[in-house]
Amino acid sequence: MNSTSTQFVPSRRMGLCEPMPQVGMWNDYKENNCLHTSLPVLEVDSRFDNQSEDTSHGTVGPSNKYDQEDSKPVDKVMRRLAQNREAARKCRLRKKAYVQQLENSKLRLMQLEQELERARHQGSYIGGGLDTGQLGYSGTTNPGIATFEMEYGHWVEEQNKKIADLRNALYSDIGDVELGMFVDGGMRHYFDLFAMKATAARADVFYLMSGTWKTSAEHFLSWIGGFRPSELLKVLMPHLEPLTEQRRLELSNLRQSCQQAEDALSQGLEKLHQILSETVADGQLGEGNYLPQISAAMEKLEDMVRFVGQADYLRQETLLQISRNLTTRQTARGLLALGEYFQRLRALSSLWASRPRGSA
Amino acid sequence: MQQALSYTNWPPTTTSSVVEVPKLVAENAVVVFARSGCCMCHVVKLLLHGHGVNPTIFDVDEQNEATVTGELSKIIGTGEANTSCMPQFPAVFVGGKLFGGLEEIMAAHISGELVPVLRKARALWL
Interface confidence (ipTM) of the complex: 0.81
CB-based contacts of A164, cutoff 8 Å, min separation 6: none
Q: CA nearest A200: which of A145, A159, A245?
A: A145
User: Is residue A25's pLDDT more than 50?
Assistant: no
B110–A contact, CB cutoff 8 A:
yes
B62–A contact, CB cutoff 8 A:
no
Q: Indicate which of A276, A314, A315, A325 best probes the interface with B, i.e. most B CBs within 10 Å of its own CB.
A: A314
> DSSP character for A74?
H
CB-based contacts of B59, cutoff 8 Å, min separation 6: B9, B10, B11, B12, B34, B35, B36
CA distance A260 to chain B (A): 7
- For B44, name the nearest residue in chain A, comparing CA atoms only: A264
Q: To the nearest 10°, report the CA torsion of A259, A264, A268, A273.
A: 30
Of A275, A306, A310, Cβ closest to residue B37: A275
Highest mean pLDDT out of A205-209, B21-25, B63-67: A205-209
Of A264, A307, A314, Cβ closest to residue B46: A264
- Which pairing describes strands B97-100 and B30-35: parallel, antiparallel, or unpaired? unpaired
> DSSP character for A128?
S
Between chains, do B109 and A261 touch, taking CB under 8 Å as contact?
A: yes
B106–A contact, CB cutoff 8 A:
yes
Between chains, do B106 and A314 touch, taking CB under 8 Å as contact?
A: yes
Beta carbons of B47 and A260 less than 8 angstroms apart: yes
Beta carbons of B15 and B83 less than 8 angstroms apart: no
Single pTM value for the model: 0.67
Between chains, do A310 and B106 touch, taking CB under 8 Å as contact?
A: yes
A110 or B111: which leads in pLDDT: B111
- For B42, name the nearest residue in chain A, comparing CA atoms only: A268
Beta carbons of A325 and A247 less than 8 angstroms apart: yes
Q: Give tens-digit pLDDT for A301-338.
A: 888 999 999 999 999 999 999 999 899 999 999 999 99
Q: CA nearest B52: which of A260, A266, A230, A269?
A: A260
Using beta carbons and an 8 Å cutoff, which residues of A are at the interface with B?
A: 253-254, 257-258, 260-261, 263-265, 267-269, 271-272, 275, 303, 306-307, 310, 313-314, 317-318, 321, 324
A140 CB-contact burial (10 Å; exposed 0-12 / middle 13-18 / buried 19+): middle
Beta carbons of A23 and A62 less than 8 angstroms apart: yes
The percent of residues above 70 in pLDDT, for chain A, comes to: 74
